[in-house]
C-alpha cells in the first residue's frame, strides 16, 4: 500500500485533491504566529465546533470508535480522545499529520474511497464536508456503510448557503462550496432516501450575512420599492409592502454592521431572532 509520511493513501491525486491541498496549505500557513485565519474568524470557528461537540457529548460512549470524515486538524473530536478511539480521513497530508499528532488513526482518502470495513464505527461525524463533495450520493453511502446499526451520524453544513459567491472567477480555489443545504433537504437526503432515523438538529451562530436574513428587504432603488412607495392607502394592493420599503436593504445592513461593531452585547442578544443560523448540525441514527 502506498503511504506518504507514514499515512496510508487510498485516493489518487487529481484536480479536486490538488485544489484541496492548496486550500489546506494556505490555511495552515495563515495560522502561523501573528497571522489571521483567511477563511473564518476564530470566534466563529470555535463557536461552530463547540456546537457539534454539544451533540457528540450526548451520543458518544466510552470505548466507542468514532470516524471524522474530513477530519482537518482534528479539532472537533480531539477533546474526546480519552473516551473513544478516534479515526480520521482527509485529502490533505498536512491536515492528516496534525490530526495524527492529536491522537487520530488517519488515512488519506476521499469519502467515496472509504478505506474502512462496513459497520466499523459507533459514530460518524462530518463537519463542513458535504457542501464540498462532487458525488454526494456516493459519499452518503460510504458514510453509512461504515456506521454500525444503532450508530449516530452527526452532520454539520452551512445553512442555506449563498452559492453565487463561488462563481466568482477571481477566487483562488475551485470547488469551494458546490451545493446548499437546509434542514429539510438534509432530512430528505438521509431520512427519506437513505433510511436513517432523524433524531434532532441544532442551528448555530446567527451570523450577519445578507442572504441569511429571514426577511428579504428591497434595495433602495428597486422597481418594486418605487411602486410600493406610490401606495396611498390600505386599499392599494402594495400598501403593506409600502411599509416595508420605509427601510431599504442597504439601510438595514448598515445598521446591523454598526450594531455588531458598536454594541456587541445588544447584537448578541437579538441576533438569533433577526438572522438565520449560519450552519446547522443534524443527528441521525442507523436503524438496527
Residue 214 has a pLDDT of 43
Angstrom distances, CA of residue 79 to CA of 49, 50, 151, 211: 11, 11, 20, 34
Residue 156 has a pLDDT of 98
Q: Coil, strand, or helix at residue 154? A: strand
Could you give the angle at the alpha carbon of 145 between the alpha carbons of 277 and 11, nearest 5°? 85
Average confidence (pLDDT) per 10 residues, the chain, 288 residues: 94 95 91 70 88 97 97 96 96 97 97 98 98 97 98 96 89 92 97 98 75 58 82 83 79 83 84 80 97
Domain boundaries along the sequence of the chain: 3-207+276-285, 212-271
Q: Which CATH architecture has domain 3-207+276-285?
A: 3-Layer(aba) Sandwich (3.40)
The pTM is what?
0.84
Helix H or strand E segment including 153? strand 147-158
Write the pLDDT tens digit of every residue in 54-66.
Answer: 999 999 999 999 9
Residue 212 has a pLDDT of 42
Residue 272 has a pLDDT of 74
Helix/strand/coil percentages in the chain, nearest 5: 40, 20, 40
β-strand partners of 198: 284
Tell me how crowded residue 185 is: count the other CB atoms within 10 A of its CB: 13
- In the DSSP assignment, the letter for residue 193 is I
Dihedral pair phi/psi, residue 234, rounded to 5°: -65, -15
Residue 213 has a pLDDT of 43
Write the pLDDT tens digit of every residue in 253-270.
Answer: 788 888 888 988 988 887
Residue 216 has a pLDDT of 58
Beta strands in 168-276 (DSSP E): 197-206
Q: Are 108 and 132 in contact (CB under 8 A)?
A: no
Amino acid at each position: 500500500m502506498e503511504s506518504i509520511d507514514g499515512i496510508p493513501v487510498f485516493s489518487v491525486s487529481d484536480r479536486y485533491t490538488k485544489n484541496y491541498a492548496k486550500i489546506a496549505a494556505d490555511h495552515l500557513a495563515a495560522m502561523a504566529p501573528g497571522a489571521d485565519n483567511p477563511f473564518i474568524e476564530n470566534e466563529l470557528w470555535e463557536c461552530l465546533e463547540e456546537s457539534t461537540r454539544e451533540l457528540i457529548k450526548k451520543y458518544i460512549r466510552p470505548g466507542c470508535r468514532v470516524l471524522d470524515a474530513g477530519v482537518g486538524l482534528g479539532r472537533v473530536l480531539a477533546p474526546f480522545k480519552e473516551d473513544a478511539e478516534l479515526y480520521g480521513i482527509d485529502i490533505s497530508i498536512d491536515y492528516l499529520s496534525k490530526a495524527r499528532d492529536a491522537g487520530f488513526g488517519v488515512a488519506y482518502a476521499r469519502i467515496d474511497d472509504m478505506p474502512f470495513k462496513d459497520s466499523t464505527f459507533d459514530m460518524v461525524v462530518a463537519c463542513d464536508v458535504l457542501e464540498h463533495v462532487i458525488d454526494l450520493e456516493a459519499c452518503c453511502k460510504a458514510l453509512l456503510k461504515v456506521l454500525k446499526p444503532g450508530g449516530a451520524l452527526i452532520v454539520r453544513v452551512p445553512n442555506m448557503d449563498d452559492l453565487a459567491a463561488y462563481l466568482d472567477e477571481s477566487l483562488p480555489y475551485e470547488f469551494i462550496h458546490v451545493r446548499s443545504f437546509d434542514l429539510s433537504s438534509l432530512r430528505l437526503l438521509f431520512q427519506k432516501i437513505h433510511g436513517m432515523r432523524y433524531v434532532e438538529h441544532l442551528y448555530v451562530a446567527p451570523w450577519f450575512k445578507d442572504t441569511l436574513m429571514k426577511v428579504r428587504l428591497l434595495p433602495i432603488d428597486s422597481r418594486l420599492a418605487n411602486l410600493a412607495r406610490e401606495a396611498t392607502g390600505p386599499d392599494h394592493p402594495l400598501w403593506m409592502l409600502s411599509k416595508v420599503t420605509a427601510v431599504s436593504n442597504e439601510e438595514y445592513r448598515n445598521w446591523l454592521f454598526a450594531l455588531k461593531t458598536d454594541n456587541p452585547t445588544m447584537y448578541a442578544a437579538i441576533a438569533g431572532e433577526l438572522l438565520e443560523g449560519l450552519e446547522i448540525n443534524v443527528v441521525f441514527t442507523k436503524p438496527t
